[in-house]
Amino acid sequence: MIECSNSIDIQRPLSTVAFYAANPDRAISWYQNIKKVTWLTPRPLQKGSRLLFEARFMGRSMRYTYEVIEYEPKKMLVMEASDGPFPMKTTYRWEQVGPDRTRMTLINAGGNFKWFRKWAIRSMNKANQKDLLQLKRILEAHQRS
Protein backbone atom coordinates (compact mmCIF):
# COMPACT_ATOMS: atom_id res chain seq x y z
CA MET A 1 0.00 0.00 0.00
CA ILE A 2 1.14 3.53 -0.75
CA GLU A 3 0.00 6.88 0.61
CA CYS A 4 0.28 10.24 -1.15
CA SER A 5 -0.58 13.50 0.56
CA ASN A 6 -0.73 16.81 -1.32
CA SER A 7 -1.94 20.23 -0.21
CA ILE A 8 -2.66 23.58 -1.81
CA ASP A 9 -3.72 26.96 -0.46
CA ILE A 10 -6.72 28.49 -2.21
CA GLN A 11 -7.64 32.16 -1.86
CA ARG A 12 -11.31 31.45 -1.08
CA PRO A 13 -13.33 30.92 2.11
CA LEU A 14 -13.28 27.44 3.61
CA SER A 15 -17.02 26.97 3.04
CA THR A 16 -16.63 27.72 -0.69
CA VAL A 17 -13.71 25.32 -1.18
CA ALA A 18 -15.26 22.51 0.84
CA PHE A 19 -18.69 22.88 -0.79
CA TYR A 20 -17.21 22.73 -4.30
CA ALA A 21 -14.67 19.95 -3.71
CA ALA A 22 -17.06 17.70 -1.78
CA ASN A 23 -19.64 17.75 -4.56
CA PRO A 24 -19.11 14.56 -6.61
CA ASP A 25 -20.93 16.13 -9.56
CA ARG A 26 -18.06 18.62 -9.87
CA ALA A 27 -15.27 16.03 -9.72
CA ILE A 28 -14.85 15.92 -13.50
CA SER A 29 -14.22 19.69 -13.56
CA TRP A 30 -11.07 19.48 -11.44
CA TYR A 31 -9.94 15.83 -11.51
CA GLN A 32 -8.07 15.29 -14.77
CA ASN A 33 -8.45 11.50 -14.68
CA ILE A 34 -12.13 11.25 -13.68
CA LYS A 35 -14.37 11.03 -16.72
CA LYS A 36 -17.77 10.28 -15.17
CA VAL A 37 -19.44 10.06 -11.75
CA THR A 38 -22.73 8.24 -11.18
CA TRP A 39 -24.66 8.38 -7.91
CA LEU A 40 -25.64 4.89 -6.72
CA THR A 41 -27.51 6.21 -3.68
CA PRO A 42 -29.77 9.26 -3.38
CA ARG A 43 -28.33 12.74 -2.87
CA PRO A 44 -27.21 14.57 -0.72
CA LEU A 45 -23.69 13.41 0.06
CA GLN A 46 -23.56 11.77 3.48
CA LYS A 47 -21.97 8.88 5.30
CA GLY A 48 -22.95 5.73 3.40
CA SER A 49 -23.34 7.47 0.01
CA ARG A 50 -22.05 5.32 -2.85
CA LEU A 51 -20.67 6.67 -6.13
CA LEU A 52 -19.40 4.99 -9.28
CA PHE A 53 -16.31 6.71 -10.68
CA GLU A 54 -15.04 6.08 -14.20
CA ALA A 55 -11.44 7.18 -14.63
CA ARG A 56 -8.30 6.82 -16.65
CA PHE A 57 -5.05 6.49 -14.69
CA MET A 58 -1.63 5.12 -15.59
CA GLY A 59 -2.90 4.38 -19.09
CA ARG A 60 -5.81 2.23 -17.93
CA SER A 61 -9.56 2.78 -17.85
CA MET A 62 -10.96 2.01 -14.43
CA ARG A 63 -14.33 1.81 -12.78
CA TYR A 64 -14.62 1.75 -9.03
CA THR A 65 -17.28 2.35 -6.42
CA TYR A 66 -16.50 4.72 -3.57
CA GLU A 67 -18.44 4.68 -0.32
CA VAL A 68 -18.38 7.72 1.94
CA ILE A 69 -17.15 6.41 5.29
CA GLU A 70 -16.80 9.78 7.01
CA TYR A 71 -18.11 13.23 6.20
CA GLU A 72 -17.86 16.36 8.31
CA PRO A 73 -18.91 19.30 6.12
CA LYS A 74 -16.23 22.01 5.98
CA LYS A 75 -13.75 19.71 7.73
CA MET A 76 -13.20 16.36 5.99
CA LEU A 77 -14.52 13.79 3.55
CA VAL A 78 -13.27 10.20 3.50
CA MET A 79 -14.23 7.75 0.75
CA GLU A 80 -13.16 4.16 0.33
CA ALA A 81 -13.28 2.09 -2.85
CA SER A 82 -15.35 -1.01 -2.24
CA ASP A 83 -14.53 -2.44 -5.67
CA GLY A 84 -12.29 -1.64 -8.58
CA PRO A 85 -8.81 -2.49 -9.81
CA PHE A 86 -7.17 -1.97 -6.40
CA PRO A 87 -8.18 -0.87 -2.90
CA MET A 88 -8.13 2.91 -2.44
CA LYS A 89 -9.04 5.39 0.27
CA THR A 90 -9.34 9.08 -0.57
CA THR A 91 -9.43 11.81 2.06
CA TYR A 92 -10.12 15.53 1.61
CA ARG A 93 -9.30 17.88 4.49
CA TRP A 94 -10.04 21.58 4.63
CA GLU A 95 -8.43 24.06 6.99
CA GLN A 96 -8.79 27.83 7.21
CA VAL A 97 -5.26 29.29 7.10
CA GLY A 98 -6.10 32.98 6.79
CA PRO A 99 -8.87 35.39 5.99
CA ASP A 100 -10.63 33.90 2.96
CA ARG A 101 -7.74 31.43 2.53
CA THR A 102 -8.20 27.65 2.73
CA ARG A 103 -5.72 24.80 2.67
CA MET A 104 -7.06 21.68 1.00
CA THR A 105 -5.23 18.42 1.53
CA LEU A 106 -5.86 15.44 -0.74
CA ILE A 107 -4.67 12.06 0.54
CA ASN A 108 -4.82 8.84 -1.48
CA ALA A 109 -3.86 5.58 0.17
CA GLY A 110 -4.02 2.13 -1.32
CA GLY A 111 -3.02 0.14 -4.30
CA ASN A 112 -0.85 -2.90 -4.51
CA PHE A 113 2.15 -1.61 -6.42
CA LYS A 114 4.78 -4.05 -5.21
CA TRP A 115 6.99 -3.99 -8.30
CA PHE A 116 6.71 -0.34 -9.26
CA ARG A 117 6.03 1.41 -5.95
CA LYS A 118 8.27 4.48 -6.51
CA TRP A 119 6.84 5.07 -9.99
CA ALA A 120 3.25 4.75 -8.68
CA ILE A 121 3.94 7.24 -5.87
CA ARG A 122 5.45 9.75 -8.31
CA SER A 123 2.54 9.30 -10.74
CA MET A 124 -0.09 9.67 -8.03
CA ASN A 125 1.59 12.74 -6.49
CA LYS A 126 1.90 14.36 -9.92
CA ALA A 127 -1.78 13.71 -10.71
CA ASN A 128 -2.90 14.97 -7.27
CA GLN A 129 -0.87 18.16 -7.62
CA LYS A 130 -2.34 18.85 -11.08
CA ASP A 131 -5.86 18.22 -9.77
CA LEU A 132 -5.42 20.54 -6.78
CA LEU A 133 -3.96 23.25 -9.02
CA GLN A 134 -6.97 22.94 -11.34
CA LEU A 135 -9.32 23.24 -8.35
CA LYS A 136 -7.44 26.36 -7.24
CA ARG A 137 -7.70 27.87 -10.74
CA ILE A 138 -11.44 27.23 -10.91
CA LEU A 139 -12.23 28.62 -7.47
CA GLU A 140 -9.95 31.64 -7.65
CA ALA A 141 -11.25 32.52 -11.14
CA HIS A 142 -14.79 32.60 -9.72
CA GLN A 143 -13.58 35.04 -7.10
CA ARG A 144 -12.46 37.52 -9.78
CA SER A 145 -15.69 37.17 -11.79
Could you tell me the domains of the chain?
2-144 (3.30.530.20)
**pLDDT string in tens for the chain (145-residue length):** 778 999 999 999 999 999 999 999 999 999 999 999 999 999 999 999 999 999 876 677 889 899 999 999 999 999 999 776 667 899 999 999 999 999 999 999 876 666 666 767 788 889 899 999 999 999 999 765 4
In sequence order, the 6+-apart residues with CB closer than 8 A to the CB of 58 are 120, 123
Residue type, 64: Y
pTM above 0.75, yes or no: yes
Give the separation between CA 143 and CA 120, rounded to whole angstroms.
35
